[in-house]
Structure 1
Amino acid sequence: MKKIFISIITSAVLTLTSCSKDDGTTSETPAIIPPVAVVDPVTPQNVRTFMVDPNATDETVALFYNLRKLSQTKFAIGHQDAFAGFYTSSGDSDIKKTTGHDPALLGSDFMFITDKNNNGQASNWFFQQETNIIDDAKEAKSKGMINVFCWHLREPNNEDSFYAADITAAQQQTAFRSIMPGGAKHEWYKTKLDKVASIVSNMRDANNKLIPIIFRPFHEFDGSWFWWGSNYCAPDEYKAVFQFTVDYLKNTKNVHNLLYSFSPDNTYTTSSSYLNRYPGDAYVDVLGMDNYGDLNNQGTSGATNANNKLKYLSDLAISKKKIAALTETGYRVTNTTPAVPNWFSTYLYDAITNNGVQIGFVMFWANGNGGYYVPTPTTSNAADFNSFVIKPKSVLQNTLPNMYVLPN
């Protein structure tokens, strides 16, 4: 059965009718205009045709449909490495310690999993991280949460860093191009994708069902701090590698529990510039944006800038029948950088809700290394965060609907 949404008529056009009074004059009475019914073209029956992978598992299809539906009225709140316990002692997530409830999404990274030093041995630190990451993803799924993985892939020469500044100028100009089909490091890149495919294809929940994952390869590509940044490859080259990545995982490795996210930073100022390196609707399920700069203590003007950019991608996602998301954000508080009053409840909330913006989720970066993005109970901005999570459109794990079953 198709879902019917009633649009709100904000500026009604009134049809006037005349009737005679006893004195021969007329009065005008506005006619009642019925609400306009808008039919959502994406239904539980045809949703696969709007996805990158029409052969996705049932749970992955349900996640796409339900997250897109959620974005029409609310947004889910996520935290990178939520269960890692970096900032406080291990145990509950920092969001749960502060609010009483877990985040709705868990952010993870394939970085340690694909590291050259991961030898698969139980005594190996990198393999231990792989095990922890998998266990955390399973815990998140058991709680009904959503799993999102980024990938800080080490550069293909020495595999020591993902930062462009850590390699030579010559390597900066060749690293990304070398992993393209036909490139000198293309086979190396395929081995890394093989590892990702192996992990994802064996990540199962308590019911032995594959766990759906939103995958964000080569994020923040419009900057140049990563070796896949815009200074080191042309738009068509970036598109080619993104497309190869999706095709290889989906068609060659038969991975069918991934949704794919396109996640630039915040440098774009128009819809067309957002799409400059867009690989195409056939390769993207989630239209994202990472944005720290506009919300880096910039007050109302920064929130407005962030909102304008989210409006571009939100409108694009609506037109393309995709999901929009603020795939990374946060304001890092340290001993020398104090919290900004009302950063969560006013500036961020306005940025992600004003102007008709529809996003499926917002992801805060990980706590740790002497600072935090998500407050813990004793921090000065804990009350502000608690005000943010109880806003009408905010969703934590306790109010997240069942994301893994399609409605009838």
Structure 2
Amino acid sequence: MRYLLLLAAILGANTEPTDKSATAQTAALYKNLKKLATKGYMFGHQDDLAYGVNWRYEAGRSDVKEVAGDYPAVYGWELGGLEAAQEKNIDGVPFKKMRQYIKEGYERGGVITISWHARSPYGAEKGAWDTTHGTVASILPGGNNHQLYKGWLNELAKFFLSLKGNKGEMIPVLFRPYHELTGNWFWWCRNACTTEQFKVLWRFTQYYLREEKKVHNLLYVYNTAGDFKTKDEFLERYPGDDAVDVISFDSYQYDDAAKSDWFVKNTNRQLQLMGEIAAEKNKLMAIGETGYEQIPFAGWWTETLAKAIGGHKISYVLVWRNHGYNEWMKKMHYYAPYKDQVSAADFVKFYQQENTLFEKDVAKERLYE
């Protein structure tokens, strides 16, 4: 019965995004993603085209493609640093290059999602990881940093409006601001602002981008941390059905996947809860971020991730970036396999599964028409 309810929601009559002035391509993407979720889920990778293990900024390269023979269906990007008018984001990717990579993925038929690790309005020292209580209150209307925040949104608007395809059309983006909002490590999380303050932050951000800056190529992704145990916890900071297009959460594997099935059971349980919410609210759902650093378990893709998702009708799953050796962490930092990595052969099996969708699969669906 629950499956039938979710299927009915996915195929429901309401196939319009929350932005009633959305561009034609954005509205088409939303409608087609609902259809696509009945066939399988898209695989995504953060910063896939910009760099990988032991390479950076080499045209046409992708660790995912070099293992599976196909690009990911979803490309994840990050805007942290744009609010300060910097040339590069917090991961060192020049925004000029990012704009080109976004266009390349879109023109091939892929889907774009963007997160935003905005710096604290009280200073750049801690970046997004400032947990000073009252930070959100300071940027809301009437707050002492409100004009600063509007300046940030002006920078975001310019970037979103600059994303154009070959025919001059706006490139649709799944915008995932204030991710992991139920955690306790960012200045927008529950330890640093009240539930109502967060909702006002979300709705003001959306209002300003839509109404003041006329940005209509965004689908909004509500994204919690992976710590919720009930539907009420997941929805505690939910800003409203009219303000969200996709619901999602982030969840990473930290224990030994070869010895523990905790990730499989926990992710499955959370997808069950989120699936019920998606059915009730007629929303798409996704795993916004996931992964297993260095993927030391050779069968992680088919024996862990695929089993964790199971038969749940999610839109996409995105694994984090392939940074390579991280000087600050003093270790390798990557979440997708590269050629000859221990899980590469299993990733090919994952790619070959009928319900995993990569770029060639979604290109056939003509998602923007």
TM-score, normalisation: structure 1: 0.81
Please state if 1:327 is matched with 2:265: no
CA distance in 2, matches of 1:104, 1:39: 23
Task: Give distance in 2, aligned partners of 1:307 and 1:125.
Answer: 32
The farther-off stretch of 191-200 and 345-354 is 345-354
Tell me the amino acid that sits aligned with residue 134 of structure 1. Answer: R
Pair 1:53-2:19 in alignment: yes
Aligned-pair distance for 1:361? 0.2
Q: CA deviation at 1:215?
A: 0.3
Matched, 1:404 2:361: no
CA contact (8 A) 1:111 1:153 kept: yes
1:263 aligns with 2:223: yes
Work out the CA distance in 1 between the residues paired with 2:243 and 2:260.
36
1:393 aligns with 2:355: yes
- Out of 127, 140, 164, the position equivalent to 2:105 is 140
Deviation at 1:239, TM superposition (A): 0.7
Larger of the two Rg values belongs to structure? 1
The match for 2:297 among 317, 337, 340 is 340
Alignment match, 1:310: 271
- Contact 1:290–1:329, Cα closer than 8 Å, also in 2: yes
Q: Give 1:118 shift.
A: 4.3
Q: Secondary structure at the match of 1:376?
A: coil
Check if 1:380 corresponds to 2:350: no
What is the TM-score when the length of structure 2 is the normalising length?
0.89
Question: Are the aligned partners of 1:113 and 1:126 in contact in 2 as well (CA < 8 Å)?
Answer: no
Counterparts of 2:141 and 2:359, CA distance in 1? 41
Match of 1:42 in 2: 12
Hey, what's the Cα distance between the residues in 2 that align with 1:126 and 1:296?
Answer: 27
* 2:51 counterpart SS class: coil
Cα deviations by residue, 1:192-249 (Å, 9 ceiling, x for unpaired): 1111111111210011110000001100111111121110011111111011111111
Bigger RCO (CA 8 Å, 6+ sep)? 2
Aligned partners of 1:214, 1:115: CA distance in 2, in Å? 22
Distance change in 2, residues 1:296/1:261 (3 Å): farther
- Pick aligned residue for 1:351 from 308, 321, 333: 308
Q: Is the 8 A contact 1:78 1:106 kept in 2?
A: yes
Please state if 1:361 is matched with 2:330. no
2:136 to 165, 173, 176: 176
Q: Distance in 2 between matches of 1:39 and 1:278?
A: 19
Query: How far apart are the structure 2 equivalents of 1:177 and 1:363?
Result: 31
Q: 1:38: how far off? A: 6.3
Q: Does the alignment pair 1:157 with 2:157? A: no
Structure 2 unaligned regions, length at least 5: 327-331
Q: Distance in 1 between matches of 2:8 and 2:238?
A: 28
CA distance in 1, matches of 2:18, 2:76: 21
Gapped regions of structure 1 (runs ≥ 5): 1-6, 9-36
How far is 1:113 from its partner?
A: 2.4
Structure-1 residue corresponding to 2:63: 94
Aligned counterpart, 1:114:
83
Q: One-letter code of the match for 1:311?
A: Q
CA distance in 2, matches of 1:314, 1:161: 35
Structure 1 residues 139-288: aligned runs within 5 Å: 139-164=104-129, 167=130, 172-288=132-248
Task: State the Cα distance separating 1:294 from its structure 2 match.
Answer: 7.0
Identity, % of aligned pairs? Answer: 31
Query: Residues 324 and 199 from structure 1, CA distance in 2 versus in 1: closer, same or farther, beyond 3 angstroms?
Result: same
Per-residue deviation, residues 148-192 of structure 1 (Å, max 9, x unmatched)? 00001010012233343xx5x7xx012222111211111111111
Q: What displacement does 1:117 show?
A: 4.0
In 1, Cα distance between equivalents of 2:91 and 2:67: 30
